[in-house]
Amino acid sequence: MKKFVGVLMLVVFMMVFVVGCEKSPSEGDKAAKDIKIHVGVVEPISGAQAALGQAEYDGIQMAIEMINEKGGVMGKYPITYDFADSQSDPATGASEAERLITSKGVPVIMGSYSSAIAAAISEVAERNKVVLWEMSGAADALLQKGYQWTFRNEANASAWGAESVEFIMANDAQVQEKLGKPAKDLVVAIVHEDGPYGTAVAAGNQATAEKYGLKVAMNEAYSAKAVDLSSVIMKLKAAKPDVLLLTSYVNDGIMFNRQAKELGFKVPIFITHSGGHSVQAFVDGVGTDANSMLTVDPVPVNPNTEGFSDEYAAMLNDFVKRWTDKFGVPPYHHVEYRQFAQTMLFFNEIVPAAIEKSGTFSAQAVADAIKAANVPAENSLCGFGAKFSTPEKPWTDPWLGNKHTGQNYEARAFINQYVDGTLVTVWPENLAKAKAELFLPASHPLSANK
């Protein structure tokens, strides 16, 4: 009897031990509820950059809305956010980021359109040890300070400048057939707004043109706030380039187009670099003159979805339908598309990795997840994979030789082209939806081609 009682007590003890070691369903639910996905979003929805900032903000909101409809991150963590308007001003952007961090307790800031605003916010993020997931500030200088809390997923601006020249060189056969000389003998003119973005793009243009031995007849900077570009255009007419590489924002891009027509400037090959050319406001401003224009963008706008996984292809199709239903036009410009794509990448790939590794959503957990990221291209609507440089292993760009910390070194730029008023990806070929036309057609008012 004593032996039986002893065995019974041992069994009871083991049952109590096992039950005590297991989490009850209520405890598991509580752990899940304790993880709050709350971020800060900073975009300019007033001031000079309002149209572009609003489009970016709309893209972010739609991505979050689509994720939350499915239960949130990993299907169980809804996303909430606090928004701040930078008013197109770096100082305001910095102060608003500080407010979101100190009064709202956000561990992550997302945004923020312009390179100047991104630079100001990055200093705030570094001081407060909060992640800046920068989705649009492309200037090279942003990531050259060795900061540990700022990360950029898309390509740096000099890469955009390099891409336009690489694209021309890859179409050497077309150049020889049309102009009767090899691409390396082309005469290039570079014109750009004089901010950190335009300057970095132009540096990529210049360095890559020199790499291939192209003659750069002109490299002219101007203020994006200029009210007259006629002097620049007259210099272009005198230079007689085969190629114009132009980097502008919206208002100056529209003004350049108008004054170039008035002054009779014409060129065989005309390539722009995102900024103000890859937005609906530019199309509205120039009308059919947008057709056939090439633009270098940080994302493949309106791409061939065969380059994505089935899940992400379906996600893109859903986004296009929702956006078109809501705004009356498809999301075929870099501003809305880039923010949607990078918001999806962040919450579908980065944040789940942070939670699985640490069990928390914190600045440190997110930063660690970004540094350890190895996302394949098919799982990102950006058109490239994700691997980030770190302070210990900075990335050296091959165009200018600068070192960058927090840069996605898998990122690249893309060539999109206006076809019947709509941007379509034409380069690289795996994401192209249409064949690239390097030369402006004879019917275009800026074309020197017959």
User: Which tens digit of pLDDT belongs to each residue from 210-233?
Assistant: 999 999 999 999 999 999 999 999
Please check whether residues 273 and 297 belong to one and the same domain: yes
Residues 193 and 296 in one domain: yes
Same domain, 185 and 240: yes
- Torsion (CA) 357, 388, 314, 353 in degrees, nearest 10: 0
Q: What is the pLDDT of residue 84?
A: 98
Query: Across residues 334-339, what is the average pLDDT?
Result: 95
Residue at 49 is within a domain: yes
**CA dist., res. 378 & res. 383, Å (int):** 7
CATH code for the domain of 71:
3.40.50.2300
The verdict on 338 and 262 lying in the same domain is no
Q: How many domains does the chain have?
A: 2
- Determine, yes or no, domain membership for 70: yes
419 in any annotated domain = yes
Q: Does residue 321 share a domain with residue 362?
A: yes
Domain that holds residue 118: 35-137+307-382
- The tens digit of pLDDT for each residue in 54-76 reads 999 999 999 999 999 999 999 99
Q: Which residues touch 412 (CB under 8 Å, ≥6 apart)?
A: 155, 159, 163, 383, 384
Q: Are both 132 and 242 inside the same structural domain?
A: no
Other CB atoms within 10 A of residue 93 CB: 29
- Above 60 in pLDDT, residue 384? yes
Residue 30 has pLDDT above 80, yes or no: no
Confirm whether 21 is domain-assigned: no
**121/265 same-domain check:** no
Is 117 within the bounds of a domain?
Answer: yes
Q: With b meaning 16 or more CB within 10 Å and e meaning fewer, what string describes 140-179?
A: bbbbbeebbbbbbbbbbbbbbbbbbbbbbbbbeebbeebb
Co-location of 366 and 321 in the same domain: yes
pLDDT score of 32: 56
- The answer to whether residue 123 scores a pLDDT higher than 60 is yes
pTM greater than 0.95:
no
> Same domain for 236 and 219?
yes
Considering the domain boundaries, does residue 220 fall inside one? yes
Kindly state whether residues 179 and 245 are assigned to the same domain. yes
Q: Does some domain include residue 145?
A: no
For residue 244, being part of any structural domain is answered with yes
Does residue 372 share a domain with residue 282? no
Does 228 share its domain with 83?
no
pLDDT (mean) for 183-192: 98
Q: Is residue 132 within 8 Å of residue 122, measured between CB atoms? A: yes
